[in-house]
């Protein structure tokens, strides 16, 4: 049995963007078993993927412990989409015959197939860079966009919650939180929500760990606020929305992978460049302040705070466009 291990152990959004590799492999080699080594927090996004044989949860185990797990399963090939020294050493110690990763790292000798990617140039989408790492295996297919899957039971649960909470069935999802990215101001999200309601659509404010107070502020007295959800529940509820407005963060990528009409709000730092991280096409819009790209944010910047240059009116216009196209 040919078993291949994909590896991405960091954040939710990064793992979502790695899912395109699963489909690419199965299209090229239908008989291969595809397994994924993923971080414990992010791994639920992989559930119910029909092309995936198994998921190994990574919770910071040392290289020797991880190598033992991998050796017991027995992999012939591995592709590490974001390598670290410990992951490299574990695969090397497990004697996986083919070990693919990107180059330009001091420990790259632990991999025996290397692809020299310059992701920081932002010449491609992140999921396309991921699929480029399949080329040493012989992959020559077309790039696939990320894709997530929900079960009928999860969708039934989501509809039951929507009805039980009295949410409008036609609602727009707002996600005002996020990770280290610079966010669109919460008062602007709040104002946008009121404007959407004035046009006859419902609004639900979603949130993740540590973001409850932010969501409560944005929701105020007039907007619906989602309850606490785990990652799968968040996915199921978002999938029912008519459209989504989100900062550049994991749930934004979830929305794209679920094919939800999407307005994406990016800050101008080069590391967050939408040329690499944004989703394009019908039913999708990328918005960013009309300022030059920068390396880091500083209160001394001429354009600071630049995210305030994106007005609720501009975001609403983009939202109406994706609703018409979606």
Structural domain contains residue 268: yes
Please tell me whether residues 304 and 161 are part of one structural domain: yes
Q: The domain containing residue 22 runs over which residues?
A: 3-137
Mean of the per-residue pLDDT values for the chain?
94
Domain boundary among 104, 137, 170: 137
CA angle 155, 160, 163 (to 5 degrees): 125
What's the longest Cα–Cα distance across the chain? 61
Residue 303, classified by CB atoms within 10 Å of its CB into exposed (0-12), middle (13-18) or buried (19+), is middle
Please tell me whether residues 178 and 289 are part of one structural domain: yes
Distant-in-sequence, close-in-space partners of 30: CB < 8 Å, separation ≥ 6: none
Please tell me whether residues 128 and 164 are part of one structural domain: no
Please tell me whether residues 35 and 119 are part of one structural domain: yes
Per-residue model confidence (pLDDT) at position 92? 98
Per-residue model confidence (pLDDT) at position 297? 74
Mean pLDDT along residues 147-152: 98
Please tell me whether residues 158 and 298 are part of one structural domain: yes
Taking the C-alpha atoms of residue 28 and residue 7, their distance in angstroms, rounded to an integer, is: 19
Taking the C-alpha atoms of residue 278 and residue 284, their distance in angstroms, rounded to an integer, is: 9
Domain boundary among 113, 137, 161: 137
Structural domain contains residue 301: yes
**How does pLDDT run across 61-109, given as a tens digit for each residue?**
999 999 999 999 999 999 999 999 999 999 999 999 999 999 999 999 9
pTM score: 0.96
**How does pLDDT run across 221-242, given as a tens digit for each residue?**
899 999 999 999 999 999 999 9
Structural domain contains residue 35: yes
Structural domain contains residue 142: no
**How does pLDDT run across 48-67, given as a tens digit for each residue?**
999 999 999 999 899 999 99
Structural domain contains residue 208: yes
Cis before 305? omega within 30: yes
Structural domain contains residue 22: yes
Domain boundary among 80, 114, 137: 137
Please tell me whether residues 156 and 282 are part of one structural domain: yes
- Name the helix (H) or strand (E) containing 204: strand 202-205
Taking the C-alpha atoms of residue 88 and residue 94, their distance in angstroms, rounded to an integer, is: 10
Please tell me whether residues 199 and 315 are part of one structural domain: yes
Helix axes 186-198, 212-219, angle to 10 degrees: 40
Ranges 63-77, 106-120, 247-261, 303-317: which has the least confidence: 303-317
Identify the bridge partners of residue 77 per DSSP, sorted by sequence position: 4, 98
Taking the C-alpha atoms of residue 106 and residue 286, their distance in angstroms, rounded to an integer, is: 36
Please tell me whether residues 166 and 193 are part of one structural domain: yes
Per-residue model confidence (pLDDT) at position 303? 65
Please tell me whether residues 110 and 165 are part of one structural domain: no
What's the number of domains the chain is made of? 2
Binning pLDDT at 50, 70 and 90, where does residue 305 land? confident
Binning pLDDT at 50, 70 and 90, where does residue 220 land? very high
Please tell me whether residues 168 and 60 are part of one structural domain: no
**How does pLDDT run across 161-181, given as a tens digit for each residue?**
999 999 998 999 999 998 876
Please tell me whether residues 20 and 76 are part of one structural domain: yes
**How does pLDDT run across 180-201, given as a tens digit for each residue?**
768 999 999 999 999 999 999 9
Parallel, antiparallel, or unpaired for β 98-102 and 77-80?
parallel
Residue 83 is part of a domain; what is its CATH number?
A: 3.40.50.2000
Per-residue model confidence (pLDDT) at position 109? 95
**How does pLDDT run across 2-26, given as a tens digit for each residue?**
999 999 999 999 999 999 999 999 9
Please tell me whether residues 26 and 165 are part of one structural domain: no
Structural domain contains residue 309: yes
């Amino acid at each position: 049995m040919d078993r291949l291990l994909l590896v991405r152990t960091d954040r939710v959004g990064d793992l979502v963007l790695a899912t395109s590799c699963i489909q690419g492999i199965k299209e090229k080699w239908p008989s291969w078993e595809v397994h994924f080594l993923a971080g414990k927090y992010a791994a639920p996004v992989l559930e119910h993927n029909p092309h995936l044989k198994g998921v190994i949860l990574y919770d910071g185990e040392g290289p020797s412990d991880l190598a033992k797990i991998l050796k017991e399963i027995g992999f012939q090939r591995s592709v590490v989409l974001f390598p670290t020294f410990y992951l490299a050493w574990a695969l090397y110690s497990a004697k996986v015959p083919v070990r693919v990763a990107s180059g330009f790292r001091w420990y790259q000798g632990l991999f025996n197939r290397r692809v020299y990617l310059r992701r920081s140039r932002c010449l491609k989408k992140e999921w396309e860079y991921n699929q480029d790492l399949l080329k040493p295996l012989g992959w020559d297919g077309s790039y696939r966009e990320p894709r997530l899957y929900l079960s009928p039971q999860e969708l039934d649960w989501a509809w039951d919650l929507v009805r039980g909470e009295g949410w409008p069935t036609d609602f727009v999802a707002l996600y005002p939180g996020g990770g280290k990215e610079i966010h669109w101001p919460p008062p602007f999200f709040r104002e946008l929500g009121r404007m959407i309601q004035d046009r006859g659509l419902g609004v639900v404010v979603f949130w993740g760990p540590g973001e409850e107070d932010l969501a409560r502020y944005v929701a105020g007295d007039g907007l619906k606020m989602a309850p606490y959800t785990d990652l799968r529940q968040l996915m199921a509820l978002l999938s029912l929305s008519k459209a989504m407005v989100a900062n550049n963060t994991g749930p934004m990528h979830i929305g794209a992978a679920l094919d939800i009409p999407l307005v994406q709000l990016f800050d101008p730092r080069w590391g967050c460049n939408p040329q690499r991280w944004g989703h394009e096409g019908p039913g999708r819009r990328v918005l960013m302040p009309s300022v030059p790209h920068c390396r880091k944010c500083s209160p001394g910047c001429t354009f600071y705070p630049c995210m305030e240059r994106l007005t609720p009116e501009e975001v609403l216009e983009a939202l109406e466009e994706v609703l018409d196209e979606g």
